[in-house]
Amino acid sequence: MTMTTDVRAAVVARGLSKTYGQGDAAVHALRGIDVSFATGAFTAIMGPSGSGKSTLMHCLAGLDTVSSGHVHIGDADITTLSDKQLTLLRRERIGFVFQAFNLLPTLTAEQNIRLPLEIAGRQADQVLMDRVVETVGLRDRLSHRPSQLSGGQQQRVAVARALISKPQVIFADEPTGNLDSRSGAEVLSFLRRSVRELGQTIVMVTHDPVAASYADRVVFLRDGLLVSEVTQPTPQSVHDMLLKLEA
């Protein structure tokens, strides 16, 4: 595995470790990971259950603290920031799409999309808003509440929300985990389009080889270590790599 320090990297982790518990009960979720994610690229993180892929994403996104090592988002070392600074950084530079429960049930789809901007006290870029809404194809659903939307529609609203603040990076945690394959494909192609057309950087955690095949690059984790990567993945190549890792 090569260790390039890409100047154009959106997210860089160096010597990243995460340990839960102490002494005999200590669980080493991450054991020193060095990885970088290029700006304008769609990267998938894969690995068997318990490989530490979700922990890695949480640490990269500043949702969880690290035990040692550093994470840079752009020029900021997020491991040295206070909770308040971290919150502001998340607000300004990071977008999220979770597996489930992405939307506030009290807000309409449009209000949910605008939420990060409003929390930051920023005005929505109307051109971008129109384009995002157009791309996700939700124009006629904007005034609906989450309970009136299908699972796929909900996830597309979540993606639109992540895009609207033009973050440096979007972290997606199993975004298709709760969706049927057609809705999943819709969401994934939408994610890929936003990388191609809007130049968005996306880091996605998934366990589904088909989902991973939408990415430009797939990195593989096992037992808290980065073990391999595949560029220009196909479902078959990802599947083969997974089988190899589990063997």
Contact 165, 134 (CB under 8 A): no
State which of positions 103-162 bind other proteins (CB under 8 A): 104-107, 115-116, 118-121, 147, 161
In the complex, the smallest distance separating the C-beta of residue 165 from other proteins, rounded to whole angstroms, is: 9
Residue among 40, 70, 92, 185 that touches other proteins (CB under 8 A): 92
In the complex, the smallest distance separating the C-beta of residue 105 from other proteins, rounded to whole angstroms, is: 6
27 scored as a contact of other proteins (CB under 8 A): no
The two structure tokens encoding residue 147: 């309970």
Size of the site for other proteins (CB under 8 A): 28
In the bound state with other proteins, the residue whose beta carbon lies nearer, of 51 and 213, is 51
Cα 136 to chain centroid, rounded: 18
23 scored as a contact of other proteins (CB under 8 A): no
83 scored as a contact of other proteins (CB under 8 A): yes
The two structure tokens encoding residue 128: 């971008």
The two structure tokens encoding residue 234: 């196909």
Residues of the shown chain interacting with other proteins in the complex, contacts defined by CB under 8 A: 58, 61, 63-64, 83-84, 87-88, 90-92, 96, 98, 100-102, 104-107, 115-116, 118-121, 147, 161
